Amino acid sequence: MSARSVPPTRSGLVRASAQLGRVRKGRELLNRKREALITELFKSARPALNARQEVEKRASEAYNALLHALAARGQATLESDAWPGREITVELEHKQVWGISVPSVASHSPILRTLTARDTAAASIGPAAAQTATEFERLVELVLEALPKEQLVRRLGDALAKATRQVNTLQLRVEPTLTAELSSLKRMLEERERDERSRLRHVLRRRKKTG
Residue-wise pLDDT for 86-145, tens only, equals 788 889 888 888 788 888 888 888 888 876 666 655 456 778 888 888 899 999 999 999
- Domain residue spans in the chain? 10-206
172-181 contacts at long range (C-beta below 8 A, 24 or more positions apart): 174/23, 175/20, 175/23, 175/24, 175/27, 177/2, 178/2, 178/3, 178/16, 178/19, 178/20, 178/23, 179/20, 181/2, 181/3, 181/4, 181/16
Low-confidence ranges of the chain (pLDDT < 70): 1-6, 115-124, 211
Alpha carbon separation from 160 to 15, 149, 166 (Å, rounded) = 31, 16, 10
Give me the CATH topology for the region 10-206.
Helix Hairpins (1.10.287)
